[in-house]
């Protein structure tokens, strides 16, 4: 079992690797995406990794310490404690949208927990997968960390291995298949899947023009970051009906301020593939066929679309839906996770109606509540379920290294990051050591009068308690 010095040394090597190869990571992302905004790479891939490494290095010694637990009276004298042991070999299957962060952040937690690691990066970002293999291969022995690039066939074979723990980040459909494959071998899994993360705007957050502009800017930053290709991105917005049109226009205007141009704009990330671009265009086309109001970017014009398509740029788009009824629920933009720069906006009449609507949907990975009223915040937190929450913002709860990150229900199972990740990739082993003269060792066959008297005393203590009643 690696001691604390070895674990800190491994994390230090990982930190040095990230610093050394930051420029190569950006070039690999540009090659895979066509364009990936450099500030987004630094903000969403480099800095969170360095924060996670520093957080784990500073605390891993404390996390590793055995924890004493009380020993029951019948087992005195004796000692009991919990030892934190490495799980063993951890398998990590990472996605394409943040190929370095979502590959290396679980590596941080697994190294802190003292494990060996096998990593299968996404084939949809081949330049990043190749660079991961080179970087980790240069810094770590293959017996410590082994990278296995390859297509979906390799991925299926990878998930069929008998890991001690398997972490998968990706779509819900593939996550089901991964869990089935792991179940056949009784491999414990952590699934980070996603879903349709809602943003709930309470009335005070859009009550006047200044509040709407502030809220719209915050939502647009989170939604259109990485051109919407974020599992935690707001997937739809619930707005008080009286403010529906004004808020929808404020969102479209915020997107235009963030990205005044599209084609050739280094700040606006491209879609990962033509197939992904076509799927998103199909969602907008379906909304148009249904007659839903669509607020388009000023450059979303026929004379610019060929250039934008050649660069795999999809303009930020706001779709306005009429209500929370069945017709709205059947629209394609409400049927699947969008994973792109298309944002549906829906009205609600009362906060209870909005909360009931959210409660009836699958549990999302993230929830965003906008209000300055503490009572409203508490009401939303108490009435909803989600993997995590950011209040008056988006995405940022996942950037806190001290908070667990993970889904719930259909958005995933299990959590990692920081101490939660250390425990996720560890085994908590129970240890008990009896004293030389333990009373329990005398209660062995043949059972005589002493045993019966001792048991009567123990049961007498139980009879003194009032009987349990069913609720």
* 128 contact partners, CB below 8 Å, separation of at least 6: 25, 28, 29, 32, 96, 99, 100, 121, 122
- On whether the CB atoms of residues 163 and 187 are closer than 8 A, the answer is yes
Q: Determine the Cα–Cα distance for residues 142 and 166; give it in Å rounded to an integer.
A: 18
Distances (CA, A) of 139 to 122, 145, 332, 370: 21, 9, 45, 44
* Active-site annotation holds for 192: yes
Q: What's the alpha-carbon Rg for the chain, to the nearest Å?
A: 26
Count of all residues that appear for the chain in the document: 471
Pairing of strands 412-413, 388-391: unpaired
Catalytic residue (one of 181, 192, 253, 299)? 192
Phi, psi of 347 (to 5 degrees): -95, 155
- On whether the CB atoms of residues 219 and 394 are closer than 8 A, the answer is yes
* Active-site annotation holds for 231: yes
* 375 contact partners, CB below 8 Å, separation of at least 6: none
Catalytic residue (one of 231, 253, 337, 369)? 231
Residue 269 is given by DSSP the state P
Render 36-55 in DSSP notation, one character per residue.
--HHHHIIIIIHHHHHHHHH
Report, in this order, helix, strand and coil percent for the chain, each rounded to 5.
Answer: 50, 20, 30
Residue 446 is encoded by which pair of tokens?
């043949």
Residues known to be catalytic: 192, 231
């Amino acid at each position: 079992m690696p001691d604390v010095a070895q674990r800190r040394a491994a994390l230090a090597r990982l930190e040095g690797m990230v610093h050394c190869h930051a420029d190569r990571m950006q070039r690999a992302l540009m090659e895979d995406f066509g364009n990936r905004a450099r500030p987004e790479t630094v903000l969403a891939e480099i800095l969170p990794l360095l924060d996670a490494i520093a957080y784990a290095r500073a605390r891993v010694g404390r996390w590793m310490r055995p924890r004493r637990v009380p020993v029951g009276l019948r087992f005195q004298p004796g000692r009991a404690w919990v030892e934190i042991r490495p799980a063993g070999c951890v398998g990590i299957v990472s996605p394409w949208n943040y190929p370095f962060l979502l590959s290396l952040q679980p590596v941080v937690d697994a190294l802190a927990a003292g494990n060996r690691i096998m990593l299968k990066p996404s084939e949809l970002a081949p330049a990043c997968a190749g660079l991961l293999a080179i970087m980790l291969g240069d810094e770590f022995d293959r017996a410590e960390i082994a990278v296995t690039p390859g297509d979906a066939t390799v991925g299926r074979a990878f998930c069929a291995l008998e890991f001690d723990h398997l972490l998968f980040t990706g779509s819900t459909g593939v996550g089901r298949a991964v869990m089935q494959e792991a179940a056949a071998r009784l491999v414990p899994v952590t699934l980070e899947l996603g879903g349709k993360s809602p943003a709930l705007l309470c009335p005070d957050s859009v009550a006047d023009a200044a509040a709407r502009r502030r809220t719209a800017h915050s939502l647009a930053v989170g939604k259109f970051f990485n051109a919407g290709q974020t599992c935690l991105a707001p997937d739809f917005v619930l707005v008080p009906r009286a403010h529906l049109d004004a808020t929808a226009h404020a969102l479209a205007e915020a997107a235009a301020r963030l990205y005044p141009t599209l084609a050739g704009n280094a700040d606006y990330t491209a879609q990962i593939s033509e197939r992904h671009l076509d799927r998103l265009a199909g969602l907008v086309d379906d909304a148009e066929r249904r007659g839903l109001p669509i607020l388009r970017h000023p450059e979303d014009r026929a004379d610019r679309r060929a250039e934008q398509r050649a660069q795999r740029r999809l303009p930020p788009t706001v779709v306005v839906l009429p209500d929370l009824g069945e017709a709205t629920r059947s629209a394609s933009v409400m049927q699947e996770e969008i994973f792109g720069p298309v944002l549906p906006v829906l009205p609600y009449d009362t906060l209870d109606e909005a909360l009931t609507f959210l409660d009836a949907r699958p549990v999302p990975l993230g929830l965003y509540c906008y209000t300055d009223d503490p009572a409203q915040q508490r009401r939303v937190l108490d009435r909803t379920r989600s993997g995590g929450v950011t209040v008056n913002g988006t995405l940022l709860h996942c950037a806190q290294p001290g908070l667990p990150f993970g889904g719930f229900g259909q958005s995933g199972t299990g959590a990692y990051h920081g101490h939660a990740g250390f425990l996720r990739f560890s085994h908590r082993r129970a240890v008990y050591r009896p004293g030389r003269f333990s009373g329990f060792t005398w209660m062995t066959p043949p059972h005589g009068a002493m045993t019966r008297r001792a048991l009567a005393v123990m049961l007498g203590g139980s009879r003194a308690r009032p009987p349990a009643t069913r609720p």
